[in-house]
Structure 1
């Protein structure tokens, strides 16, 4: 893999995401408009009511320092250094594919596998807050064999976060929802997102 040094650029996220501007620093620019388009399109179309808290934590490769110029505008530094595909966003040490198609839980699992990633997983409370702030409801890589079995991840580990609506015997797959995690029928069609750890 070609090791290129990424070029920093600032992206201002005003309260109206359509007013984003990209201002390259320096004369080399290895950043395409794709990162900016992802922020604008995904935030504006998929979740127009989002308050953009946590957006200043979308990072490529390393966590840069952030600066706030006002209450309504958050400035962040974005760097594309080649670890994630351009269509994906990066948070902390993971790449996230923002899906647009609705699929069953099993179909979503296969779709993510075909992208050399896994169905969305949540490692901690901070990541869950970030994901609920920017993503619509989506499947996560957690399921159970029946209502008499524990929730487990696709890696076979016991899942420790609370999942709402677990009483329903037909709801054996988990999804991320605006208010946390909830169970759903595995055959329901829901938007999916994928995650790939760096």
Structure 2
């Protein structure tokens, strides 16, 4: 009969064991959800996809696109000229990256390469303009002085921004705004 006697230590170890199992199960669920949302790898997409993938609380993005603040982003793994990059984005109902605010800049600071943005120099307006002809907000980048008016803007690691010959090949970021 003494074999069935429970001591406080056995009770405590049993409770801790059950808690440990619950924590492991919760971790498994969290990891599963994390990997299914981050399953999107920045790779080349050969054509438009009708597959929708949840990207953030207010939008759904196509497969291989990343959702952030109600926009979808395609981060390429191949290099193209600015014009070819823009054409790729247009063919996917999007545009080259147009950074709207510092929060979006923070999102882009995690990238590892230089990427084309939708910003280029307009000789007609003597200013940097986005693809939709809107002007660059002065608080986004400290200064951009065109060395060569044929240049376009690349955005790189740690938020660095440079002008580069639009004919050079860099990776690119397409952005599709959903709102």
TM-score, normalising length: structure 1: 0.59
CA distance in 2, matches of 1:137, 1:166: 19
1:22 and 2:31 are equivalent in the alignment: yes
- TM-aligned CA distance change 1:120 to 1:167, over 3 Å: closer
- TM-aligned CA distance change 1:139 to 1:126, over 3 Å: same
Which residue is equivalent to 1:183? 163
Aligned mate of 1:157, from 113, 127, 134: 134
Are the equivalent residues in 2 in contact too, given 1:163–1:182 (CA < 8 A)? no
Determine which structure has more spread, i.e. the larger CA radius of gyration.
2
Structure 1 regions of 5+ residues with no counterpart? 1-9, 13-20, 25-30, 43-58, 64-80
Q: How many residues align?
A: 138
Which residue is equivalent to 2:65? 88
Aligned mate of 2:152, from 163, 173, 180: 173
Greater percentage in helix: 2
- TM-aligned CA distance change 1:100 to 1:127, over 3 Å: same
Structure 2 regions of 5+ residues with no counterpart? 1-25, 43-53
Which residue is equivalent to 2:12? none
Which residue is equivalent to 1:61? 56
Which residue is equivalent to 1:36? 38
- TM-aligned CA distance change 1:147 to 1:155, over 3 Å: closer
Q: Secondary structure at the match of 2:107?
A: helix
Which residue is equivalent to 2:91? 114
RMSD, aligned α-carbons: 3.1
